[in-house]
Amino acid sequence: MSRPRAVLLPGTGSDEVFVRAVFAAPLADIGVEAVTPRPPAGEKLAVGFLTLLDELSADGPVLAGGVSFGAHLAAEWAVRNPDRCAGLLLALPAWHGKPGNAPASRAAKASADLVESQGLEKALALSVAGVPPWLAAELTRAWRRHGDGLAASLRVAADHPAPTLAELRALDVPAGIAACTDDPVHPLAAAREWASAMPRAAITETTLTALGADPASLGRAAVRALAQRTVLTVMDR
């Protein structure tokens, strides 16, 4: 039997380096390969990731997941393709349905405005001032790697609807959700709403402090939550 695979997508303005640091080791511990594609450029961010999930699941069902906006896209893809989704690993979902005034959407729009008005390097300097060193390092690497497409990708993520609660209620696949109790950008209440709506979901809570010390702590939380529903199912598919 081939090794099970999980396709993990990064959050807004982030990259595959971070999402791999979150998920690769926890998944390796249960015998699952982490596939972490690089973000498509600019306006192609959402449609590019959804197309990649289609392509990577062509040979059989995969686990899908990601962080923040990446979690939204994984769930959106699963709503459309439940037969190709072996399960979901969802870290820090930020809203359901239209983003409205969700903090993560507002933050992405503000960042896009700053990049467009000040240029990448000045916007980056302003954005990392006063944030924890681990976050400053992540933003510095990832924003520079996005380059000229950064502002457009931020706007795509800020405006893109997540699955509605009705869609999540109809999504009959096992799901592990991880949330941080001290994260104002990705409210714990939003993750709990996702977990309550999805018929086969469990949620595990952690903290941004733990994430800063060890990115894999977030991935372990999601894997532990999924284990409450279906470790054997994941491994047997």
Q: Are 89 and 63 in contact (CB under 8 A)?
A: yes
Instruction: Please write the tens of the pLDDT for every residue from 88-128.
Output: 999 999 999 999 999 999 999 999 999 999 999 999 999 99
Question: From CA 19, how far away is CA 218, in angstroms rounded?
Answer: 10
- Predicted TM-score (pTM) of the model is 0.94
The CATH code of the domain that includes 74 is 3.40.50.1820
Look at residue 234 and tell me whether its pLDDT is greater than 70: no
Look at residue 211 and tell me whether its pLDDT is greater than 80: yes
Q: Based on the fold, state whether residues 18 and 121 are members of the same structural domain.
A: no
Q: Based on the fold, state whether residues 27 and 132 are members of the same structural domain.
A: no
Instruction: Please write the tens of the pLDDT for every residue from 36-87.
Output: 999 998 999 999 999 999 999 999 999 999 999 999 999 999 999 999 999 9
DSSP 188-203: HHHHHHHHHHSTTEEE
**Parent domain of 142:** 103-155
Query: What does DSSP assign to residue 83?
Result: G
Q: Based on the fold, state whether residues 89 and 117 are members of the same structural domain.
A: no
Mean pLDDT to the nearest integer, 147-172: 97
Look at residue 236 and tell me whether its pLDDT is greater than 70: no
What's the Cα-to-Cα distance from 154 to each of 43, 122, 159, 161, 190, rounded to whole Å?
Answer: 9, 17, 9, 14, 20
Q: Based on the fold, state whether residues 70 and 13 are members of the same structural domain.
A: yes
pLDDT number for residue 3: 65
Q: Based on the fold, state whether residues 38 and 114 are members of the same structural domain.
A: no
pLDDT number for residue 233: 42
- pLDDT confidence bin for 2, thresholds 50/70/90: low
Of 67, 64, 61, nearest to 50 by C-alpha is 64
Q: Based on the fold, state whether residues 41 and 109 are members of the same structural domain.
A: no
124 phi-psi bin (left φ>0, alpha ψ -120 to 50, beta other) = alpha
Residue 119: Cβ within 10 Å count:
10
Instruction: Please write the tens of the pLDDT for every residue from 188-210.
Output: 999 999 999 999 999 999 999 99
Question: From CA 144, how far away is CA 162, in angstroms rounded?
Answer: 26
Question: From CA 38, how far away is CA 49, in angstroms rounded?
Answer: 9
The count of structural domains within the chain is 2
Phi, psi of 62 (to 5 degrees): -130, 155
pLDDT number for residue 4: 81
